[in-house]
Structure 1
Amino acid sequence: MRIAFLTAPEGVEQVELTEPWKAAEQAGHEPVLVSTQSGEVQAFHHLDKADTFPVQEVVGDTSADSFDGLVLPGGVANPDFLRMDDKAVGFVRDFFEQGRPVAAICHAPWTLIEADVVRGRVLTSWPSLRTDLGNAGATWVDEQVKVCDHGSNKLVTSRKPDDLKAFCETFLEVFAAERAS
């Protein structure tokens, strides 16, 4: 299974990128780092610069139909940059329109809000997004991981890095089940 990991050129929370990436690899899947620009992605440990990672595909040069699922790591800056990029927002929206599964953690639902795909869905996130999600028509819950199958695809969301184990296990199960159906 080919899984897109969409990040901005900087601002992604490193652990929210690397832990799901490792989980996908260990499950035998092919994670692909997609960004809005070629080169490298600068990850962060909260507000401090961390490692860099090579971009494998640029969002404007690829499409949702070449992937089986999408993972949106968080970090405060990452989804804020992504939601300001029309191609990134369109890429995310295409996964929903094509019925492909999506997983988002922490602040990543900001990008989902911009893509206008949360209305009528129940999801979780970093608590500060609660009002934004409600204003966009979603129902926010304070749960470690939430799976929502409203619409043609499934959406897996989690709140924070402490939820990564459950997030990884759940999105891998959901993505595998979606592919099998």
Structure 2
Amino acid sequence: MTDELRGHKVAFLATDGVERVELEQPRGALHGVGADTELLSLHDGEISARQMDIDPAGTFTVDRKVADASVGDYDALVLPGGTMNPDQLRMDPAAVAFVKAFMESGKPIATICHGPWTLAEANVLRGRRVTSWPSIRTDLRNAGAEVLDEEVVVDGRLISSRSPRDLPAFCNTVIDEFAKAMRPAWDPTVER
């Protein structure tokens, strides 16, 4: 285990219907490099997860309602997918406002599968390069994004991936890009 992200806090924004592996694996990878994480949601208590959008896959405990969260409390944001999860998030004004403010902050955001739907609703994809689950690509294009069919796409501080099968590459890229974004402007450990 390394400590690349020790002392940094990452928000995960999800609600009922989140694809379990798309929350669990990135969160575990970030914990593995020392990051603290908080699960933000639309309600207190627990959210129910799914496997392949259909099968119940347990629950996750919510740390804070997104309506009570501030972008300034976090260093990065992860938007997991699952069809029901982002479909509900994009209908919630507090969730959309949080995502929009996070994107405008310049802090890194990672999203996978159907997760970019919330970014489209926040109207922050115009001119950005992203990838996603195939069924929402038209929505992303209509929101002004250039949509690619690649395992992982990095556009500045925005990281996106297509599906659970891309999770190994997604998790590695998220760690690398978050660490890069959180490194001080002058880092004595980096050769110039």
Equivalent residue letter for 1:173: D
User: Which of 106, 121, 124 pairs up with 1:117?
Assistant: 124
The aligned counterpart of 1:31 is 37
Instruction: Kindly state the Cα deviation for residue 172 of structure 1 after the two structures are TM-superposed.
Output: 1.1
The aligned counterpart of 1:43 is 49
* Cα displacement string for residues 57-98 of structure 1 (whole angstroms, at most 9, x for unaligned residues): 111111111000000000000000000000000111111111
Report the Cα distance in structure 2 between the residues aligned to 1:105 and 1:92, rounded to whole angstroms: 15
The aligned counterpart of 1:107 is 114
1:75-86 pair list within 5 angstroms: 75-86=82-93
* Cα displacement string for residues 19-54 of structure 1 (whole angstroms, at most 9, x for unaligned residues): 001001001100111101100010001211111111
Query: Where in structure 2 are there 5+ consecutive unaligned residues?
Result: 1-7, 186-192
* Cα displacement string for residues 152-174 of structure 1 (whole angstroms, at most 9, x for unaligned residues): xx100000000001001101111
TM-score scaled by length of structure 1? 0.96
Report the Cα distance in structure 2 between the residues aligned to 1:18 and 1:121, rounded to whole angstroms: 26
The aligned counterpart of 2:75 is 68
Report the Cα distance in structure 1 between the residues aligned to 2:99 and 2:176, rounded to whole angstroms: 20
SS in 1 for 2:88: helix
Runs of 4+ in 1 over 6 A off after TM superposition: none
Structural RMSD (CA): 0.7
- 2:138 aligned with 1:131: yes
The aligned counterpart of 1:17 is 23
Equivalent residue letter for 2:176: E
Equivalent residue letter for 2:163: K
Report the Cα distance in structure 2 between the residues aligned to 1:130 and 1:72, rounded to whole angstroms: 16
TM-score scaled by length of structure 2? 0.90
1:80-99 pair list within 5 angstroms: 80-99=87-106
Question: Once the two structures are aligned, what percentage of the paired residues are identical?
Answer: 51
